[in-house]
Structure 1
């Protein structure tokens, strides 16, 4: 008995059902591409989110470190060691007599705190060669905010501390590099400023005088684009010599001024006396992340009030910092440090 055979038409129908038409193939490829694109987009968004969160955490940690270090150093301003009880000789460090200005130690009359607006340290003679307003010319051909940002200089002056007979500091007084400062024959300095690194990043730097008397500069943190300082003063009129002695002083800051406002033109002694009336320091920082670290990489250019809302003035270069649309994540931070040590000393009428 013969088995029935399918007709040629039936075979052709079965053959057609075994494959895909061109339209079906194109639809499948399109759907596959859409799924792949969606997966890639999700991966990229997730990666960008991770990068932004990581950069945000890093910026906050950097801001915390910078604030902690600056606070640690600023509260040392004007410190003198009275460990051995020789108060009279210690006072001579700042006021040697009625005929000599306070703070005159071998020609060094700087008070515990002094600052400079829109300034660069560069290769200037320290500490006397620092001036306000030299940042613009000092940046040369660099015209972006890695240098041309109006950043200030903050100088902190104090004495180290040592145990009797010890050749090293006891750790209670440090400089901005973290090294101990001993109780020597000259005051210690910690100078905070922003310099442009070899990689082109604005960097918070520390300049200090080592045990050999040589000035050293070390970088502290990259990405500090804004560094602005205001000074809380006690009974100071801008650009005016203060009253003699301690007249009108109550130890409480009654206004905040820029560094240039404490300068009395042609009167160095009056300028230094104004600086000795500083009672607190308000510091504004603006930190930036790597290029493309912001979630919105296409964000437009904007301005930051580095010292906080309402404190930017046209006469203070850098207090309002315009940044480009470079896709960088930025973190502002503002804090105030109150000085603990006596800053203003009237020359004694006696000579111990």
Structure 2
């Protein structure tokens, strides 16, 4: 009878096996972490896209409603008077107090040079016309009673200080103002206005300028009238704000957590590099450099969204 001796693993073989197993586990863990990070980044990117689409839907709906008049109502005029104020207004690199009157007394401490966009429109007796917050706007007997939808960026003072795109509106009873957040995580909100410079106007934008440029062109007008009231009426008739045919809007959004994306661009030009190169000095916010932001915001996942929206109603 032949007996064969059984041999186990040597210590060296055991250590090699353990080492290989450890390397395999490390590699598997790295793949799992990368897959998890990729999934979270995709989820966050989708959330940013959803936020941007929601904001653009609200802005586009309000812009296309601008200058609307209820032709069936007896209290509202069938057409805007030539000396009525423009249905469109804006401010560059400003923010607002949610309780202030309209866009009066703006705040200079804007979030990264974000702009203000203000829109006016007539309501209806049944409140079927909604402002940017989704509240019905009643019929207006005069142009001063038109509804408001105002978009601006401010920090959440009662929470973590995150920047929000807000919708400001006048209360349904016409007394007092309110503002609600539409989306959070806004780096910059920028607006350009498509100016129809043709005479006569053809409703097509020939150039895009910011709010400050429109105000500067208005300031250069030589107004007719013997009194200040007459000159003001002439300004309302001739203001360049009534020659705006379309509006270009850009939003730079960031996610809530650190992304660590090595492929992220070093800067974001909200209206393209050419415009930023020419105007970034006078129009802050059109170029955002993440490295210059506060440390807690530098490593965020970011998404830039742009849209050009035509105005449906004629200038008034």
Distance of 2:271 and 2:162 partners within structure 1: 21
Answering whether residue 237 of structure 2 is matched by residue 276 of structure 1, we say: no
Count, aligned residues: 288
Distance of 2:138 and 2:2 partners within structure 1: 109
TM-score (norm: length of structure 2): 0.81
Number of the residue aligned with 2:312:
340
Number of the residue aligned with 1:211:
172
Unpaired segments of 5 or more residues in structure 2?
222-230, 292-296
Q: Which of residues 89, 108, 113 in structure 2 aligns to 1:114?
A: 89
Asked if structure 2 preserves the Cα contact closer than 8 Å seen for 1:286 and 1:306, the reply is yes
Find the residue that maps to 1:280 and give its secondary structure: strand
Asked if structure 2 preserves the Cα contact closer than 8 Å seen for 1:308 and 1:334, the reply is no
Find the residue that maps to 1:291 and give its secondary structure: strand
Distance of 1:81 and 1:278 partners within structure 2: 22
Asked if structure 2 preserves the Cα contact closer than 8 Å seen for 1:291 and 1:328, the reply is yes
Cα deviation, 1:145-203, whole Å, max 9, x if unaligned, reads xx3x11100000111123xxxxx41x2x2111112222134110011011112223221
Shift of 1:300: 6.8
Asked if structure 1 preserves the Cα contact closer than 8 Å seen for 2:154 and 2:164, the reply is yes
Q: Which of residues 173, 186, 191 in structure 2 aligns to 1:224?
A: 186
Distance of 1:205 and 1:158 partners within structure 2: 19
Q: Which of residues 119, 122, 129 in structure 2 aligns to 1:156?
A: 119
Number of the residue aligned with 2:139:
183
Shift of 1:44: 0.2
RMSD: 2.8
Answering whether residue 65 of structure 2 is matched by residue 43 of structure 1, we say: no
Answering whether residue 209 of structure 2 is matched by residue 234 of structure 1, we say: no
Distance of 1:321 and 1:151 partners within structure 2: 11
Cα deviation, 1:24-71, whole Å, max 9, x if unaligned, reads 221122111111111111110110111111112112222221111111
Cα deviation, 1:62-111, whole Å, max 9, x if unaligned, reads 22211111110011111222114678x444x645xxxxxx22xxxxx4x2
Answering whether residue 155 of structure 2 is matched by residue 196 of structure 1, we say: yes
Shift of 1:260: 0.2
**Structure 1 pair 191/333, CA: closer, same or farther in 2 (3 Å)?**
same
TM-score (norm: length of structure 1): 0.74
Number of the residue aligned with 2:269:
305
Asked if structure 1 preserves the Cα contact closer than 8 Å seen for 2:188 and 2:253, the reply is yes
Answering whether residue 231 of structure 2 is matched by residue 256 of structure 1, we say: no
**Structure 1 pair 277/150, CA: closer, same or farther in 2 (3 Å)?**
same
Asked if structure 1 preserves the Cα contact closer than 8 Å seen for 2:98 and 2:177, the reply is no
**Structure 1 pair 85/123, CA: closer, same or farther in 2 (3 Å)?**
closer
The structure with more radius of gyration: 1
Give the number of the structure whose residues are more often helix, by fraction.
2
Distance of 2:256 and 2:67 partners within structure 1: 38
